[in-house]
């Protein structure tokens, strides 16, 4: 199911880009527009950890920012990119990176070990 959904999104993306080129042939090509940046807001308050295994879709090259707001010390780890941030209790913390690896990557916490989000990076 995930594979067919992804094919549909890719087909739609190509069609959408072609439509934009037809509509504005003298403007910059649509494929040079910078990918839309994405923010993933992680909160851990009174034992409730969010997001909860959410799927987050981004286009390769997009800047992804992860913010952490927690009432206890929390380590957040993005697999594949090997981004790790240690947030202190009560201290808003964030990190950003460019999503230059295509694929599916787990964003999780350690202690407790929980899946926050599945980051899906597509070519276009």
Query: Following DSSP, what letter does each residue of 23-77 receive, concatenated?
Result: HTTTS--GGGSPPPPEEEEEEEETTEEES-SEEEEEETT-EEEEEEEESS-EEEE
Distance CA 71, CA 46 (A): 7
Site for Cu ion in 91-110 (CB under 5 A): 108
Size of the site for Cu ion (CB under 5 A): 2
Contact mark string toward Cu ion, 12..51, x via CB under 5 A:
----------------------------------------
Q: Does 60 bind Cu ion (CB under 5 A)?
A: no
Question: DSSP secondary-structure letter at 91?
Answer: -
Pick one of 77, 93, 97, 115: the residue that binds Cu ion (CB under 5 A).
Answer: 77
Q: What are the residues binding Cu ion (CB under 5 A)?
A: 77, 108
């Amino acid at each position: 199911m995930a594979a067919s959904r992804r094919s549909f999104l890719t087909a739609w993306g190509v069609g959408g880009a072609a439509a934009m080129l037809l509509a504005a042939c003298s403007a910059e090509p649509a494929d040079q527009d910078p990918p839309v940046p994405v923010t993933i807001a992680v909160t851990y308050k009174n034992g409730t950890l969010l997001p909860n295994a959410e799927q987050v879709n981004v286009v390769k090259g997009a800047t992804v920012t992860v913010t952490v707001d927690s009432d206890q010390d929390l380590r957040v780890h993005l697999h594949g990119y090997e981004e790790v941030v240690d947030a202190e209790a009560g201290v808003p913390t964030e990190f950003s990176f460019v999503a230059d690896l295509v694929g599916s990557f787990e964003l999780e916490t350690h202690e407790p070990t929980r899946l926050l989000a599945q980051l899906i990076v597509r070519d276009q």
